[in-house]
Structure 1
Amino acid sequence: MVRKPPSSADVALIDAAAARGAVISATQLERWRRAGLLPDNRRHGAGQGRGSTSTAPAGIIDLVVWLSAHARPGRRPHHVALEAFGAGLPVPEATVRAAWRSTITDLGVGPAPVPESGTDRSEWIAETAERFADKHSRNIMLMPRRVRDIDTRITDLGLSWAPAGVAQYDRGTHQTDPFTSRDFVTLAMSAVLGGSSELNGANLAAFSRALSPEGAVSAVASMLEYPDGNPDLADINDGQGLSLLPTGDLRDDLDQIITEASPAHLYAAWHSVDAMHTWAVTLCDQVEAELDLLAAGRSQQDYPALLQWYHGIILGPHRLLLRQALQKTDTSPAARAGTAVMLLAMATGMSRLRVMMPDSQFELLPVLLPPFLEQLAAMIAADPPTSLRTAPADQPVRPAGR
């Protein structure tokens, strides 16, 4: 097969890359374009009936040089696309979004059966979650050792996990069986595949208490165990079709979040993963330093890190985020994007709450949320996705596909 000679635009790219020490070929450029990693050259008329010519998109040389160093044979194009996007390079947007979507579909469980198949969906979810737990629960730890060690030090110093001002809001648990790593994996997969329809207050309360140290009070867990007529999880909505919790396959909801997120939001979510890890390590360092002071009998006026540790147990999602940040898990680009999608979903949920409950005290978010998540939530609130923008009173706001 006779190949066409490289276009003038590609020759210019090859020369510019060589000037920066990157040796590439026209064949490599073609391969990257076929993989969606490199945008096509822009064609335009040469003028005076001389046909057309092409030019490379502005700023593309940085991407070409980066690809020459990172797009090695055998690497998955989606992984390369995610890393290039995270580096701030102009990867084609369609490829970037496809790469993000692949992180929520590559669970190895397949799509849910269609209703016409005769398969009961709840039964399929339960069986799939059990199989997933069989395969993965042995490698899962409920809480990282560093967090458990800090909790033990706090207990050994005689500090109470049940402050008087908060203990009154926890009526105690009626759960007797321990919540295990297998329970966590089963619950998480059931929630992914079935949304709030597969959740109930009892198993969420057990999960919440399992993340906390023994003897810690949890007003949130108590509310879940003793709902006292509060609405079911699946009924939490604004009356206009805007639900706080998805009622079906969570992958559909996450797909919508990725579709509606701006490139800036995706980029911020990607880098929030690093910020989450830095926050978690720094918080542990600071709490351990304050515990050292207490153990040595050296008191000080304030213990801000310990206070944040307690706030995380009593109020916010800190424990779940600490768990995610400190787990020794897969560090591939796909795994990082999966964590970023989780953060993006949490931040988008904050914006959904702003629409559903506009008079709430959102000024308290900096206390309830770690700084990286509060900043991401504020960014999305300032430029919300289409499905969360305020609509006229006679036009209900409904997420796509609902």
Structure 2
Amino acid sequence: MSARQLERWRADGLLQPNEVRSLGRGRGRTSAPSPGAHEMVVWLGRHAGPGKRPGDLALMAFGEGLPVPEAVVRKAFAEAGKLLSPENVLPGGSAEDVADAYAAKHDRSDPVPARIRRIDAALTALLEAAGVSVDEVTQAVLAQFDRQAPLVQAERVTRRDWVYASTIAAIDGAESLDVGYMGTLARSLAPLGVPAPVAEDLELCWPGSEQEAAQLLTPENGLAFLPAGSLNEIFLQLAEATSLPDLLQAWQIAAHLPVWAVDLCDRVEAALAARNSVETLNEWIQTMFGPTRGLLVTAARNAGQSPRKTAIDALILLFQREALRRVLAAVPDAEVQNLEQPWVFPTFMTDFMMTST
């Protein structure tokens, strides 16, 4: 490793500066590498190279628990959280204009990957071949949520619709989105013909008690418990203020989600082909009815994602955790045990999402 390379990494902020100590009065000073510097240099020697941006290297090394300078870590998260760069926002243009322009760059395909749709269809066929009525399963799920029939999808939702809504949230804030529209988007991720009770709660503008609705909805029919402000602003705040242990845990979960999604798809496909492993099939069924479905869909689409995308997903997880904390604060008698079910979060996420402080 050349001295020039080491200095370049120091200039990029990837290495902690040497620790300087005095040798005593009149004897000058000496310096020594900071703790963990050797491990960091070895790691950089293996991973740095042409085309590798310092910010990506900082995020990757941080995710592996290496001693990356805190200021560099926070800067990398903050840069990743800039969902819209200034040059993409037309002067004087409305949020709707910008969202239209962004959405037009995407096709009108199904937001759910074809692989997941195929697994859904194969599982339905397997159940019916075994004499299990999907309608009966559906009714059993609905009964747990005091429903009799799932809502009918009135319009086809595409990836373009998702991009439009995400761009509006990035500019005006997620709380600016109509809760009914958010429910329609969420239900578009569900298996075809299968109920999506949580999404339907949103579509029906929270059909629970009026008191809960008053606490959780804004006068404009947005979600009052979402942190206010554009996602760009919120992500910057999270990057600057979240503790390093929480940033690390969020990063590690975000990095694991695509691995989990691909592994689950692999195992379920194998179980369907062999027509066995009820436990694996049940694990898939648990993802079909609630928020875990959205995580599965997104993670399956993000396999092999960049460090920047992992950082964005980590910030989204922190944003969602803060929103959940606000819901629980507004509705103190909420049935928290329901939030610990695998249809809400994958088991490896539960402790992180349910941490109260």
Correspondence for 2:73: 96
Correspondence for 1:204: 182
Instruction: Give 1:90 shift.
Output: 0.7
Give the whole-Å Cα distance in 2 for the aligned partners of 1:28 and 1:293. Answer: 53
Instruction: Give 1:78 shift.
Output: 0.4
Per mean C-alpha deviation after superposition, the further-off stretch among 32-41 and 224-233 is: 224-233
Q: Deviations over 1:273-303 (max 9, x none)?
A: 3432333234334434554465xxx7x8xx4
Unaligned runs of 5+ in 1: 1-22, 237-241, 385-402
Give the whole-Å Cα distance in 2 for the aligned partners of 1:170 and 1:308. Answer: 24
Q: 2:175–2:226: 8 Å Cα contact kept in structure 1? A: no
Q: Deviations over 1:44-95 (max 9, x none)?
A: 3221223332222122111122223333254311011111112221110000
How do 1:46-125 and structure 2 match up within 5 A?
46-105=23-82, 107-108=84-85, 119=92, 124-125=94-95
Question: Which of the residues 309, 320, 326 maps onto 2:284?
Answer: 309
How do 1:218-297 and structure 2 match up within 5 A?
218-227=196-205, 230-231=213-214, 235=218, 244-292=225-273
Correspondence for 1:340: 314
How do 1:357-368 and structure 2 match up within 5 A?
357-367=331-341, 368=344
Letter of the 1:132 counterpart: Y
Q: 2:139–2:148: 8 Å Cα contact kept in structure 1? A: no
Q: Which has the higher contact order (CA 8 A, sep 6+)?
A: 2
TM-score, scaled to structure 2: 0.82
Equivalent residues, number: 338
Q: 1:112–1:193: 8 Å Cα contact kept in structure 2? A: no
Q: Deviations over 1:212-267 (max 9, x none)?
A: 1221122223322333563496539xxxxx95213320122222222232222222
Q: Deviations over 1:346-378 (max 9, x none)?
A: 334334444444443323333131012213224
Question: Which of the residues 81, 97, 101 maps onto 1:131?
Answer: 101
Instruction: Give 1:103 shift.
Output: 0.8
Question: Which of the residues 296, 303, 310 maps onto 1:322?
Answer: 296
Correspondence for 2:138: 163
Instruction: Give 1:106 shift.
Output: 5.0
Tell me the secondary structure at the aligned position of residue 313 of structure 1.
coil
Larger Rg: 1
Are 1:182 and 2:160 counterparts?
yes
Q: 1:191–1:199: 8 Å Cα contact kept in structure 2? A: yes
Letter of the 2:71 counterpart: A
Q: 1:97–1:259: 8 Å Cα contact kept in structure 2? A: yes
Instruction: Report the aligned-residue RMSD.
Output: 3.1
Give the whole-Å Cα distance in 2 for the aligned partners of 1:293 and 1:31. Answer: 54
Correspondence for 1:331: 305
Question: Which of the residues 344, 349, 353 maps onto 1:373?
Answer: 349
Letter of the 1:259 counterpart: E
Give the whole-Å Cα distance in 1 for the aligned partners of 2:197 and 2:125. Answer: 24
Question: Which of the residues 156, 170, 174 maps onto 1:192?
Answer: 170
Correspondence for 1:17: none
Tell me the secondary structure at the aligned position of residue 43 of structure 1.
strand
Q: 1:173–1:222: 8 Å Cα contact kept in structure 2? A: yes
State the identity %.
Answer: 33
Distance 1:355 1:155, change over 3 A: same
Q: 1:169–1:222: 8 Å Cα contact kept in structure 2? A: no
Distance 1:170 1:203, change over 3 A: farther
Correspondence for 1:143: 112
Give the whole-Å Cα distance in 1 for the aligned partners of 2:175 and 2:314. Answer: 24
Give the whole-Å Cα distance in 1 for the aligned partners of 2:99 and 2:266. Answer: 36
Instruction: Give 1:43 shift.
Output: 2.3
Q: 1:24–1:68: 8 Å Cα contact kept in structure 2? A: no
Q: Deviations over 1:134-160 (max 9, x none)?
A: 22x239751112210011113334341
Distance 1:219 1:377, change over 3 A: closer
Letter of the 1:250 counterpart: L
Instruction: Give 1:171 shift.
Output: 5.6
